[in-house]
């Protein structure tokens, strides 16, 4: 989605229960040995955990493990998370967090991505204050338990950790369990701390915390403090405590999720209404009817409750899965075999799975929890394995990298999850870290800045022209020359002057994307981008990109330029009688001779015909013309294979 320019305030977007252990491939290893006594003593935050643990008789390791899963021990400048959570313990105070409707209500993009039915943009009703769930009101409860003010809990690290310890101690007491020095005795309390109201979600959360306790962690926080948790590899928690936690039994029946996440089925309706109209997705038979080649990462631009309400509207749109920030809980709405209406491009919809993550792109400090990142990575890994989707940025797309299907749709395409989604960390969790795979003299680079240190300036957060908070980013800005005073790269398809707005994708590349090198000058590297030579700073001591390998395409000899497409549709002769021929219409871009672009899949043109409620008329049209997917600008695009030549990346 496109991020709002009006500030929504601090906001809010099962599987087999307690015994499931998360995949080792998704766990971060213990980074080195535990710190020395001097190092530990110098960390005020480590001391705060020790003091809070002693005061409330909670094992320090449990307190550290819970905090790591919530925030990775970061304070995030004391800005609220996407669900109104504050500080290392993510204490929630979400009174204003649920006031924003999800981004598909915005109206700039038809999520279905074709003209076979009118675009619909109903507005979801956010929940009233008395409907705010307990998981979003933990900070006021911590204030009562500790006697500390809400303001202090929001802004003081020691107070925030005390609040978390008090909540854990209260949960232990509610379970009828005595204080214990053994972390194994705190499984039930950790599950209750998640705020989940069902045992599967609470159990999955507790499993993740105890996985952290087993492996250990060590990192420097965003405030520059070293925090460490020594691993306890033989730790075996008392998972039977979950049976006494008083939580409802949610069923994972009918879901397509890995056993390492909590997942429930909240179906999106397939219904007919009005004068032959229907919604809110298309029934199909993928991967038989058409292949699944993409997974699209969205953020909701609203809270969990609003998104869940919206996806159950039969007159509107849909996506396959929603992911909750507080605990990583997942709801599946559309079966993967069916086509959801989410990406704004029918070709991509027909071949993709859509994931909505609770969050806001234009609130850089409204951070995503580690619990949601982990759950998302596990789900994506599971789906990618099942459907043969490669784990790279040519197949794991952001909504902001989906191309407009036609020239007219380009300006209205959505821009989520935006520059603050941590793609580098995400691919580490996917088990596919973005590493250098080529030589320094090679012809391809992968964009890979240091997320925390990479802080491009953006505006339009909280209001038109208003500066965004300084924050780490996955995005890198592009210039027309090797000089930050030179003009920004212009996107001809947008027809606007490029700027630094948080939604302006004209001159921006993103972590994990790959481009052909066009030139170099000192600390600057140029790539081919939108038919132009685009420059970005890439100093050797702090590289913004790393050399890699890839397949490159360039216009066939004798062609001055070739057209670029937003969808790979078949040639006219491929359509059988009764199915209208879809135009193979180029975008307002070209690929000039002499330029090279990184290519992904080579595939035949396809069009999934599904314009009515009766699935008997649905049909997948496959042509003979072949296409290459390419990384053309910030978004991917397609070129006809007959128009290009494959060249070595040297």
Residues of the chain above pLDDT 90, percent = 74
Q: Average pLDDT in the 370-394 region?
A: 97
Q: Residue 592 is encoded by which pair of tokens?
A: 């000039």
Interatomic CA distance for residues 407 and 402, integer angstroms: 13
Window from 29-43, 89-103, 573-587, 633-647 with minimum mean pLDDT: 29-43
pTM above 0.75, yes or no: yes
Q: Of the ranges 163-172, 297-306, 317-326, 393-402, which one carries the lowest mean pLDDT score?
A: 297-306
* Range among 30-44, 73-87, 372-386 rated most confident: 372-386
pLDDT tens readout for residues 596-621: 999 999 999 999 999 989 999 999 99
Which spans in 241-283 are helix H? none
Per-residue pLDDT at 530 exceeds 70: yes
Residue of higher predicted confidence among 316 and 541: 541
pLDDT one-digit tens code per residue, 625-635 = 999 999 999 99
Higher pLDDT, 449 or 364: 449
d(CA 638, CA 606): 12
β-bridge pairing 352-357 and 321-323? parallel
Helical ranges in 57-98 per DSSP H: 60-71
Give me the mean pLDDT over the 14-37 stretch.
Answer: 36
Strands 330-332 and 263-265: parallel
Give the C-alpha separation, 410 to 587, whole Å. Answer: 8
* Among 599, 594, 597, 623, residue whose Cα is nearest residue 609: 623
pLDDT of residue 99: 44
Burial class (CB in 10 A: 0-12, 13-18, 19+), 187: buried
pLDDT at position 369:
85
**Cα Rg of the chain (Å, integer):** 25
pLDDT band at 58; cut points 50, 70, 90: very high
Q: Dig out the tokens for 359 from the structure.
A: 């969050």
Report domain extents, the chain.
Answer: 24-120+130-244, 434-548, 554-647
Inter-residue contact 356 to 334 (CB < 8 Å)? no
pLDDT at 462: 80
Q: Quick one: tokens of 338?
A: 């069916």
pLDDT at 89: 97
pLDDT confidence of residue 76: 87
Who has greater pLDDT, 6 or 226?
226
**Confidence at residue 39, expressed as pLDDT on a 0 to 100 scale:** 52
The whole-number pLDDT of residue 650 equals 67
- pLDDT number for residue 40: 46
Per-residue pLDDT, averaged over 258-284, amounts to: 91
> How confident is the prediction for the chain on average, in pLDDT?
89
The DSSP annotation for 345-366 comes to -HHHHHTEEEEEESB-TT-TTS
Bridge partner residues of 78 (DSSP): none
Q: Taking the domain 24-120+130-244, which CATH number applies?
A: 1.10.530
pLDDT per position as a tens digit, 100-129? 445 555 556 677 777 665 555 555 555 555
Mean pLDDT calculated for residue range 539-545: 95
For the ranges 27-31, 268-272, 492-496, 511-515, which has the lowest average pLDDT? 27-31
**Mean pLDDT on 361-390:** 90
- Rounded CA-CA distance 206/217 in Å is 16
Query: What's the burial of 561, exposed, middle or buried (CB within 10 Å: 0-12/13-18/19+)?
Result: middle
Q: Which of 34-48, 266-280, 408-422 has the highest mean pLDDT?
A: 408-422
Cross-strand partners of 298: 356
Instruction: State the pLDDT at residue 21.
Output: 31
Q: Is the pLDDT of residue 30 over 50?
A: no
Q: Look at residue 98 and tell me whether its pLDDT is greater than 50.
A: no
User: Count of residues for the chain?
Assistant: 650
Identify the bridge partners of residue 599 per DSSP, sorted by sequence position.
551, 630
CA–CA dist 246, 262 (Å, integer): 17
What pLDDT, on the 0 to 100 scale, is given for residue 362? 80
pLDDT confidence tier of residue 20, bands split at 50, 70 and 90: very low
- pLDDT, tens digit (0-9, with 9 covering 90-100), for 441-459: 789 999 999 998 999 999 9
Across the strands, what pairs with 84? none
Instruction: Summarize the confidence of residues 211-238 as an average pLDDT.
Output: 96
- Residue 33 makes CB contacts below 8 A (sequence gap 6+) with none
Identify the CA nearest to 442 among candidates 535, 555, 525: 525
Alpha-carbon distance of 23 to 260, in angstroms, equals: 7
Q: Residue 122: what pLDDT?
A: 54
Alpha carbons within 13 angstroms on the beta-carbon side of residue 47 total 9
pLDDT at 80 over 90: no
Q: Reply yes or no on whether the pLDDT at 87 is more than 50.
A: yes
Q: How confident is residue 435, by pLDDT bands cut at 50, 70 and 90?
A: very high
pLDDT(508) > 70: yes
pLDDT tens readout for residues 134-168: 888 999 999 999 999 999 999 999 999 999 999 99
Higher pLDDT, 107 or 40: 107
Cβ-based burial of 613 (10 A; exposed 0-12, middle 13-18, buried ≥19): middle
Instruction: Quickly state the pLDDT bin for 19 (edges 50, 70, 90).
Output: very low
Contact (CB, 8 A) for 501 and 508: no
Q: pLDDT at residue 379 above 70?
A: yes
Q: What is the pLDDT of residue 107?
A: 57
Predicted local distance difference test score (pLDDT) of residue 25: 33
**DSSP assignment letter at 519:** E
């Amino acid at each position: 989605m496109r991020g709002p320019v009006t500030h929504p305030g601090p906001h809010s977007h099962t599987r087999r229960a307690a015994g499931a252990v998360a995949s080792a491939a998704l766990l971060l290893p213990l980074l080195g040995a535990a710190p020395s006594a001097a190092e530990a003593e110098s960390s005020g935050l480590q001391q705060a955990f020790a003091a809070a643990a002693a005061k409330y008789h909670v094992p320090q390791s449990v307190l550290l493990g819970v905090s790591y899963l919530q925030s990775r021990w970061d304070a995030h400048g004391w800005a609220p998370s996407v669900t109104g959570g504050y500080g290392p313990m993510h204490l929630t105070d979400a009174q204003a967090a649920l006031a924003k409707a999800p981004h598909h209500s915005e109206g700039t993009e038809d999520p279905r991505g074709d003209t076979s039915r009118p675009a619909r943009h109903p507005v979801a009703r956010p929940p009233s204050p008395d409907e705010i769930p307990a998981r979003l009101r933990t900070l006021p409860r911590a204030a009562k338990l500790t006697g500390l003010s809400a303001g202090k809990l929001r802004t003081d690290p020691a107070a925030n950790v005390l609040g978390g310890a008090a909540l854990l101690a209260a949960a232990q007491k509610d379970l009828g369990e005595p204080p214990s020095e053994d972390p194994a005795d705190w499984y039930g309390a950790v599950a209750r701390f998640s705020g989940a109201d069902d045992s599967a979600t609470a159990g999955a959360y507790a499993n993740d915390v105890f996985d952290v306790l087993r492996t250990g962690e060590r990192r420097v926080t965003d405030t520059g403090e070293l925090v460490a948790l020594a691993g306890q590899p033989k730790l075996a928690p008392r998972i039977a405590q979950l049976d006494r936690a008083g939580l409802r039994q949610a069923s994972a029946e009918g879901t397509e999720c890995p056993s390492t996440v909590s997942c429930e089925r909240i179906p999106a309706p397939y219904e007919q209404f009005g004068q032959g109209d229907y919604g809110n997705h298309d029934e199909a038979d993928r991967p038989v009817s058409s292949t699944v080649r993409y997974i699209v990462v969205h953020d909701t631009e609203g809270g969990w409750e609003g998104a869940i309400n919206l996806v159950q509207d039969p007159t509107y749109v849909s996506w396959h899965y929603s992911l909750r920030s507080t605990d990583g809980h997942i709801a599946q709405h559309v079966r993967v075999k069916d086509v959801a209406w989410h990406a704004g491009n029918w070709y991509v919809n027909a071949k993709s799975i859509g994931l909505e993550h609770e969050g806001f792109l234009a609130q850089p400090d409204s951070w995503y929890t580690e619990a949601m990142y982990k759950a998302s990575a596990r789900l994506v890994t599971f789906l990618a394995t099942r459907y043969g989707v490669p784990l790279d940025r040519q197949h794991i797309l952001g909504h902001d990298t989906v191309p407009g299907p036609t020239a007219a749709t380009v300006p209205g395409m959505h821009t989520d999850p935006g520059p603050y989604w941590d793609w580098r960390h995400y691919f580490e969790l996917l088990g596919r870290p973005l590493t250098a795979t080529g030589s320094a003299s090679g012809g391809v680079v992968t964009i890979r800045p240091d997320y925390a240190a990479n802080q491009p300036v953006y505006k339009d957060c909280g209001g038109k022209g208003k500066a965004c908070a300084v924050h780490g980013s996955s995005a890198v800005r592009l210039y027309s020359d090797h000089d930050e005073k030179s003009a920004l790269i212009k996107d001809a398809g947008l027809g606007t002057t490029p700027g630094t707005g948080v939604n302006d994708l004209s001159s921006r590349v993103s972590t994990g994307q790959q481009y052909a090198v066009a030139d170099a000058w000192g600390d600057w590297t140029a790539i081919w981008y939108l038919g132009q030579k685009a420059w970005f700073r890439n100093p050797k001591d702090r590289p913004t990109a790393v050399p890699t390998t890839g397949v490159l395409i360039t216009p066939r000899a004798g062609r001055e330029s070739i057209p670029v497409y937003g969808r790979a549709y078949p040639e006219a002769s491929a359509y059988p009688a009764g199915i209208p021929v879809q135009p193979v219409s180029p975008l307002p871009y070209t690929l000039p001779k002499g330029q090279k672009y990184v290519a992904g899949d080579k595939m035949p043109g396809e069009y999934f015909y599904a314009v009515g409620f009766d699935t008997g008329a649905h049909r997948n049209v496959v042509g003979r013309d072949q296409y290459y997917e390419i990384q053309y600008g910030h978004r991917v695009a397609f070129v006809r294979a007959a128009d290009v030549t494959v060249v070595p990346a040297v």
